[in-house]
Amino acid sequence: MICSVERKEIEAIKPTNVLPQTPFWGRVKGSQGFTPGGFELTVSNKLPDSSLKASTNSQEDLLILVKYINSTQCYAYVPYGPKMEPDFEDHGVFLEELSETLRSYLPANCIFIRYDLLWQNQWAQEEEYFDRKGNWIGPPESNIQEFRVNFKTAKWNLRKSPVDILPKNTFFLDLNIEEDDLLYNMRYNTRYNVRRAEKKGIKVTEHGMEHMDEWYRLYVETASRHKMPLQDEEYFSTILKNQDNKKNGVHVKMLMAEYEGRFLASMFLVLSNKRGTYLYGASSTHNPHSLASYALQWEAIKTAKKWGCSEYDMFGSAPNINQRHPLHGVHVYKKGFGGNLYHRMGCWDYPFLQNDYEMIKMQEMNN
């Protein structure tokens, strides 16, 4: 396997379903203290798709974000990348080769590169990691994961990150079917609530910056209710302001559910290439029917389908139905819409400066 990279402008990154690998994501993160960089990755010799001939090259664009920890040290972060995936047994070899290739393109004081892998979790396809009811119990301890992923690598240098940044578990809905079939695939209670919301007269409409204060009010209520860390209002304004004007770019729709003149729930629907993503959601504590969120989600799914998307990403859930998991309620709600649960590999690190990396790793583990 031979990797090569060439720099390219952020805005020249090609459209993709993977939202965190778009120019839009680079612009948003650029406003949050990251330095975005674009690359064209070429993999040849031994390819991710073993059905292709060895002489064939496989290419993709890669967004990398550099973040300074202090005035002298930084790390590189690859959100949901790389997209191309080798066979399981070659995951480590591929990441090792890519990391060493990227090293000379990163700052000399870059301590490590962190891949937030979107690849399906290796242990989510093995029966021994499921309980008797078919629920995934999660991957083994980090040292066991590292042993498998580093198999066949030259340096055995890949480490399971102490933290995961983007959602590891999510539900995907197939939008290539008719609306009636999407409704039919929902759980009974979810379908009932969607129809009841319509009968109650809950309306869902798209709004812009003029209602950002209403969005933020709902968001603060939700964050306080679930004891979540708060983002400031400017963060969400940045998301709306940085969307693309091109048809094949990234488009953000702030949808709001209203009943009798009062906004009860809102969400950010992001359309990227052929995928719709439920990026953020918020709802009022004072919701007389508790139906607004169902009306909102259903409208978002229909909107993504009409836009031409082939799939819908719920963007985050618990890995299973464990009631003690902090995302249990979110998991049950999202599962009700009938999607398929998908488990990603999560974050993996490739240290360049070992001693500095170990210190940062300890700090992250203690936070």
Q: How far is CA 193 from the centre of its chain?
A: 27
Whether residue 44 has pLDDT greater than 90: no
For the cut 50, the answer to whether the pLDDT of residue 51 exceeds it is no
pTM: 0.94
Whether 72 shows a pLDDT value over 70: the answer reads yes
Of residues 255, 344, 329, 323, the one with CA closest to residue 292? 255
State percent of the chain over pLDDT 90. Answer: 83
What is the pLDDT confidence band of residue 322, given thresholds at 50, 70 and 90?
A: confident
For the segment 176-228, what is each residue's pLDDT rounded down to a tens digit? 999 999 999 999 999 999 999 999 999 999 999 999 999 999 999 998 887 88
262-280 mean pLDDT: 96
The pLDDT, as a whole number, for residue 94 is 96
- The 10s digit of each residue's pLDDT in 354-365 is 999 999 999 999
Residue 88 reports pLDDT greater than 50: yes
pLDDT (mean) for 259-277: 95
Cβ distance 347 to 176 under 8 Å?
Answer: no
- How would you class 239 by CB atoms within 10 Å of its CB: exposed for 0-12, middle for 13-18, buried for 19 or more? buried
Averaged pLDDT, 329-333:
92
State which H helix or E strand residue 176 sits in.
none
What average pLDDT does the segment 268-283 reach?
96
Mean of per-residue pLDDT scores for the chain: 93
What pLDDT sits at residue 55?
52
Element (H, E) at 294: helix 292-307
pLDDT at 42 over 80: yes
Angle at 47 between CA 42 and CA 52, to 5 degrees: 115
pLDDT surpasses 80 at 344? yes
56: confidence class by pLDDT, cuts 50, 70, 90 = low
Distance CA 112, CA 100 (A): 11
Give the mean model confidence (pLDDT) for residues 241-262.
90
Q: Please state, in angstroms and rounded to a whole number, the distance separating the CA atoms of residues 279 and 264.
A: 18
d(CA 37, CA 301): 32
User: Could you say which DSSP state residue 33 is in?
Assistant: T
pLDDT at residue 50 above 70?
Answer: no
Q: Which amino acid is at 264?
A: L
pLDDT value at residue 47: 47
Residue 134 has a pLDDT of 87
Tokens read off for 273: 């290439």
**Is the model's pLDDT at 83 over the cut of 50?**
yes
Residues 46, 51, 53, 58, CA torsion sign:
negative
At residue 52 the predicted structure's pLDDT band, cuts being 50, 70 and 90, is very low
